[in-house]
Structure 1
Amino acid sequence: MAHIHYVECNTTHASNFVIDVPVGSHWLLVITKTPAQFWVNGGLKEYPAHSAILYSPSQKVYYRACADHFVNDWIRLESDEPYITESPLPLGVPFALSDPYYCHKLFELIVMEHNFNRDCKESSIDYLLRTLFNKLWESYFQDDITPQYYKLLKLRTAIQTNSGDYWTVSKMASFLQISPGYLQNIYKKTFGISCMDDVINSRIRMAKEYLIHNAQSIAEVASRCGYQNVEHFCRQFKQMTGHTPRNYQKHSRG
């Protein structure tokens, strides 16, 4: 089990902020939201926002602000859990996060669980920490995480959570303030799927759920999933699933 000594998220510090612990203390995880300087391999080096760094107990800890302010999430804890103590993550060396927004949400939940004595506090914190370290592992083994990647990730999250919106390539490109052609190129390279195919997949996935578990008409489902034309929805649904919406609905409910 892990014991949290202290945890904070969205902590803001002034430009003169410095953490200097020559011999360390406990496990320490820091996730930056602004650039910062870290002591790595005998010298100071600047790392960009959305970097994570894990320190083991008794390891030298030194980092500081390098702009007009410094914002981070951080947690100091003791643990004998292998997912922490035997982690493949580098110790004392920052690496880029592939999904900083997801990790920040986990930090917010950990803070809430830590600050309130609920019945399932220990097990809830354990599950959240395991999920957080899973995300750290995914990040560490992912290549080519750039500032442009974070913008694309925000767009993809918006598509997945609002697939019923009227998405077009032009609208998605304006979301990132780039040209439609460039968006199509980098989106496919980044996620292995075109931006419009991502929209369609998300819409069809939503449509399947509504067709099986709701009493809405085919036209209502089509409209809710972002289709302005029922025939277009039926044609695209059959192309993706091999069934018409009506046959899919009957087969699934049967």
Structure 2
Amino acid sequence: MKINRIQLNCRRDTAFGGELGADPVFLLLRTPIMYEENGQQLRTEGVSAALLTSGYKQSFRPVKGKPIRYDMVSFRTSAADRQYISSMNFPQDTPIELADDLVISGALRSMQSQFMHRGKHISEFMELSMRIIFIALSETYDNAPASPVEKIPRYAELRKLRQAIYDDPMNSWSIDEMCEEMRISRTYFHRLWTAAFGVTCLQDVIESRLLRAAELLKNTDKSVYEIAVECGYDSESYFMRQFKKHKNCTPSEFRRRALSTEDK
């Protein structure tokens, strides 16, 4: 299985589908979308995922004029890969709604990091990551028992709040204001958040900003200062330190590597 490209936190205002390319594409759709199946107009209500096969012609459309937010992986498969995917028992070319996208989101973020740094075992890492994604999708489609995570108090509210953080990384996201909105103590909030997602709320805020920064570095010619401001940082130097700490390179180095990868 060869990964062609990985794009996270993408936004699109218009319908898309078949024009994504001739190779299979995996999509994590973070917003509701409209689509057609067997002549019926359908829509998803939350986060969904779809594996689009080669030559896929269907279109996914925004709901109520709101942009579609999505992550995407384009890849090539061998006969063995296609046989494995078929054995996973989930439908292709149609969205599968997810109760929890934690496993798939984590796998995609790890894949993007490996894709940029081109480690020694990148091929094995990518294939194993895609298999994890397919297994998670298969379990969802088979209506596997609900994860213990979903039994955490206020889980639905926490998940909605976490999605809002990734949707709007520029927001200040005050912990005290979030606690006040949920009417719980700061200590209890931290306990619930860590139990639900395995990281602190602050770590999610940082990750959302750095994901957005990475996309801007790859896809725009904005300066590092402009990107820092757009991602909610008051200080360019603090943004650069935090980016290097979490991405193991400076923003400028990240941009050079991204451009170099695209040129290959």
TM-score after normalising by structure 1: 0.53
How far off its partner does 1:102 sit?
2.2
What is the CA–CA distance in structure 2 between the aligned matches of 1:10 and 1:23, rounded to whole Å?
16
- How far does the alpha carbon of each residue in 1:35-85 deviate from its partner, in whole angstroms, 9 at most, with x for none? 111232234322122111122222323112124221111212111213324
Identity of aligned residues (%): 17
Letter in 2 for 1:128: S
- Residue 91 of structure 1 aligns to a residue whose secondary structure is coil
Q: Following superposition of structure 1 onto structure 2, how do residues 135-146 of structure 1 map, counting pairs within 5 Å?
A: 135-142=136-143
- Give the 3 Å change call, closer, same or farther, for CA 104–175 of structure 1 in structure 2: farther
Q: Following superposition of structure 1 onto structure 2, how do residues 11-26 of structure 1 map, counting pairs within 5 Å?
A: 11-14=10-13, 17-21=14-18, 25-26=22-23
- Give the 3 Å change call, closer, same or farther, for CA 85–144 of structure 1 in structure 2: closer
How far off its partner does 1:90 sit?
0.6
What is the CA–CA distance in structure 1 between the aligned matches of 2:24 and 2:180, rounded to whole Å?
39
- Structure 2: tracts of 5 or more residues without a match: 160-178, 184-194, 196-264
- Residue 56 of structure 2 aligns to a residue whose secondary structure is coil
How far off its partner does 1:112 sit?
1.6
- Give 2:72's aligned residue: 74
How far off its partner does 1:121 sit?
0.5
User: Which is higher, the Rg of structure 1 or of structure 2?
Assistant: 1
- Give the 3 Å change call, closer, same or farther, for CA 134–175 of structure 1 in structure 2: farther
- Give 1:83's aligned residue: 84
- The correspondence for 2:48, drawn from 26, 51, 54, is 51
- Give 2:110's aligned residue: 109
- Give 1:152's aligned residue: 155
Letter in 2 for 1:126: E
RMSD between aligned alpha carbons? 3.4
Moved over 4 A (4+): 153-156, 174-178
What is the CA–CA distance in structure 2 between the aligned matches of 1:6 and 1:23, rounded to whole Å?
11
TM-score after normalising by structure 2: 0.51
- Structure 1: tracts of 5 or more residues without a match: 157-173, 179-198, 200-254
Letter in 2 for 1:73: D
- How far does the alpha carbon of each residue in 1:126-158 deviate from its partner, in whole angstroms, 9 at most, with x for none? 11111111111111112798xxx59637869xx
- Residue 54 of structure 1 aligns to a residue whose secondary structure is strand
What is the CA–CA distance in structure 1 between the aligned matches of 2:20 and 2:70, rounded to whole Å?
22
What is the CA–CA distance in structure 2 between the aligned matches of 1:48 and 1:104, rounded to whole Å?
18
| Equivalent residues, number | 158
- Give 1:63's aligned residue: 60
